[in-house]
Amino acid sequence: MPESGESSETADPPPRRRKAHLAPLPVLALLALALGWFWRGDDAGAVREFEVMRTYARIAIPAGSGSHLPASDLADLAEKAVREVDALMSPFGGDSDVRRLNEAPAGAWVEVNPLTWRVVMEALRWHRLSEGAFDPTIGPVKGLFQFNRTEVDSWPDAQTLAEARERVGAEKLLFDREGMRLSWERDGMILDLGAIAKGFAVDRAAEVIAAQGVKNAIIDVGGELRLLGQKPGEPPAPWRVGIRHPRDEGRTLETLELSGQAVATSGDYENFFVHQGRRYEHIIDPRSGLPLTGGAASVTVIHPQSCLAADAMATTLCVLGSDQIDEFMRRQARGLFSRGVRAIVLLVGPDGGLRRREFNLDQAGALRIEDNPVGEGE
Ligand code: ADP
Ligand code: MG
């Protein structure tokens, strides 16, 4: 067995502001505005909030969810599902699949849970689809930086960066389908499912409660959401979800009305540092081996079924940046994307002005792009 590898990347993370602490609900990137949501009937519904995956989670089961089980039992089931995904895929926790893999020497096979397997296979699919922009092995480079919202003077030297980059590359993650086993082609590699696991946790919780008959609910893990069904009422109404202004925490830029979809947002305003006047965010461009800077301030993806796909795609579009998003969306329009996918990209210009670019893939597979400046008063 390998030594437990307490490298800087696998050790417990330094304390950093959690979204749950730094962001009370009104300032979250995406926030389910369950406004005007009144409990009805005998069962009062349930709202469950907890910290998990270094962020917050919020599960809201309304009265009239559609299930015969009490709302608090359903909230228990959903919370358990989210915590199970965390226990399997956290890079830090106990003997999670991810930690066991990250501590294994090159060539050793590590058997993983079927849920972990599903997420890793999806991560590798997004790696291919994005032609390498999405890379779940980015950990060694990410570990060289601290994204704690402060001004940072130091920068890793070229040799350190080059050495870390040699330990990145999803093609060096080997897999054995039959045995659901994973293995590294070289030592020192790090699996990081941070860009996809929260979306999956949301899907998993949705799956578990839907199996109990739930038709209407909100599941939110760190701003990645599933809006099941509708807000019960007379008549039922769509759920309302706010997209936050990426430079003004208190401001909601627009409100989406959703029924049944998944939503995920990636952006440069939660986890970042500033170096020589530039903002660097916690998403790494595997092609440069450096944290993103000067790209989209936020990308929100609305997906008809899958929060995992929305989560992976939001991160992917951030890496691609404004120059390549158009081409990527056009290329995929007739390909693998489900119909009904939308992406809302917010770009900050050199003068600080905000531009909103929306990509909409309609049911016929046609791509529409709308581009507008965001006015001050909106
Ligand atoms: P958030 O965690 O705020 O929802 P994302 O879903 O965009 O944001 O995930 C960002 C995380 O994904 C990073 O903290 C890191 O763990 C991981 N990551 C960074 N760069 C990449 C990349 N190019 N491909 C895949 N995962 C990445
Ligand atoms: Mg993501």
pLDDT for res 26: 34
pLDDT at 22 over 90: no
CA 233–ligand 2 middle distance (angstroms):
32
Question: Which of the residue ranges 144-153, 201-210, 369-378 would you say has the lowest mean pLDDT?
Answer: 369-378
Ligand 1 within 6 A of CB of 282: yes
CB 172 within 8 A of CB 185: yes
CB 82 within 8 A of CB 52: yes
Ligand 1 within 6 A of CB of 286: yes
pLDDT for res 256: 97
The sign of the dihedral angle between the CA atoms of 311, 317, 320, 321 is negative
The partner residues of 252 in beta bridges, in order of sequence, read 244
pLDDT for res 345: 97
Distance between CA atoms of 305 and 318, rounded to whole angstroms?
A: 21
More confident residue, 337 or 228: 228
pLDDT for res 41: 39
Percent of the chain with pLDDT over 70: 86
User: Measuring from atom 8 of ligand 1, which residue has the nearest CA?
Assistant: 266
- Structural element, H or E, at residue 118: helix 114-129
The pLDDT confidence band at residue 13, using thresholds 50, 70 and 90, is very low
Tally Cβ neighbours within 10 Å of residue 209: 27
CA 230–ligand 1 middle distance (angstroms):
30
Instruction: Give the residue, out of 144, 173, 283, with the most ligand 1 atoms within 8 A of its beta carbon, to mutate for a pocket test.
Output: 283
Tally Cβ neighbours within 10 Å of residue 288: 13
Ligand 1 within 6 A of CB of 192: yes
- Structural element, H or E, at residue 332: helix 307-333
CA 318–ligand 2 middle distance (angstroms):
9
Mean pLDDT in residue range 68-80: 97
Ligand 1 within 6 A of CB of 194: yes
CA 117–ligand 2 middle distance (angstroms):
18
Terminal C-alpha separation, the chain: 58
In this prediction the pTM is: 0.89
CA 205–ligand 1 middle distance (angstroms):
21
Closest atom, ligand 1, to C-alpha of 286: 23
CA 195–ligand 1 middle distance (angstroms):
4
User: Measuring from atom 9 of ligand 1, which residue has the nearest CA?
Assistant: 195
Instruction: Give the residue, out of 17, 55, 56, 138, with the most ligand 1 atoms within 8 A of its beta carbon, to mutate for a pocket test.
Output: 138
Measured in degrees and rounded to the nearest 5, phi and psi for residue 163 equal -65, -40
Task: Report every protein residue that has its C-beta within 5 angstroms of ion ligand 2.
Answer: 195, 266, 311, 314-315
Q: How far is CA 164 from CA 78, 131, 189, in A?
A: 38, 20, 9
- Residue 276 has which token pair? 């020589």
CA 217–ligand 1 middle distance (angstroms):
26
Mean pLDDT in residue range 162-185: 97
Ligand 1 within 6 A of CB of 270: yes
E strand spans, 180-320:
181-184, 217-221, 224-228, 239-245, 248-258, 262-267, 272-275, 278-285, 290-293, 296-303
